[in-house]
């Protein structure tokens, strides 16, 4: 666990039980830090990013032809094409320094509408579902006794590279992810609905 999140008086209790951590800031926020800035009144009722978005649009509903996606890391934009015509543009947030989104040519190899991360998320107390660590890394730390792991939501997920995909996420206005391509929810839905397994994805700098 991350000791910096805990009141000093609670540190000796970490190994005892999950309930020892219930006073943390993570518990009060009630969300995964990976998706900080997003809130949900219901599980699948995600709000759009509070950052103004004058970039994203979609004109592709009446277009036909093979789909393709181009992601520009410098511009922080994703472009969707149908039959070679531009169908839509989305504002994005890609991998931050040290976890950059890999450039190259790929194809969509997985679609999962309600995908959750297997690496980043929260630890919750069994029985109450109270969040006790909002910055959990499932592969790097043990689940505390009395807790369970829940992956951060990555809805409308289009995987195109190992452990990297496009999905609904919070956009702070700069590259901030762990490698994935975050999109406004409305645009993530459009890309998800119009892409198929095998859709070409080009990531350029």
Active site residues: 167, 180
Which of 200, 192, 130 lies closest to 155 in space, CA to CA?
Answer: 192
Give 79's Cβ-side CA count (13 Å radius): 13
- Residue 190's H or E segment, with its range, is helix 185-194
Range list of H helices, 71-153: none
Range list of H helices, 21-163: 25-29
200 with 161: CB under 8 angstroms? no
């Amino acid at each position: 666990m991350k000791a910096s999140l805990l009141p000093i008086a609670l540190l000796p209790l970490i190994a005892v039980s999950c309930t020892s951590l219930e006073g943390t800031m993570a518990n009060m926020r009630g969300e995964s830090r990976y998706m900080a800035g997003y809130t949900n009144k219901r599980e699948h009722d995600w709000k759009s990013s509070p950052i103004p978005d004058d970039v994203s649009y979609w004109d592709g509903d009446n277009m036909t032809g093979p789909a393709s996606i181009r992601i520009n890391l410098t511009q922080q934009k994703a472009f969707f094409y149908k039959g070679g015509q531009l169908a839509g543009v989305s504002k994005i947030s890609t991998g931050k320094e040290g976890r950059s989104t890999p450039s190259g040519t790929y194809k969509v190899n997985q679609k999962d509408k309600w995908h959750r991360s297997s690496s980043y998320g929260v630890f919750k107390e069994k029985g109450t579902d109270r969040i006790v660590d909002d910055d959990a890394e499932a592969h790097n730390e043990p689940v505390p006794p009395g807790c369970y792991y829940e992956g951060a939501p990555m809805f409308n997920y289009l995987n195109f590279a190992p452990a990297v995909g496009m999905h609904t996420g919070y956009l702070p206005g700069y590259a901030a992810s762990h490698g994935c391509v975050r999109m406004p929810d409305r645009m993530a839905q459009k890309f998800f609905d119009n892409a198929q397994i095998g859709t070409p994805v080009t990531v350029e700098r």
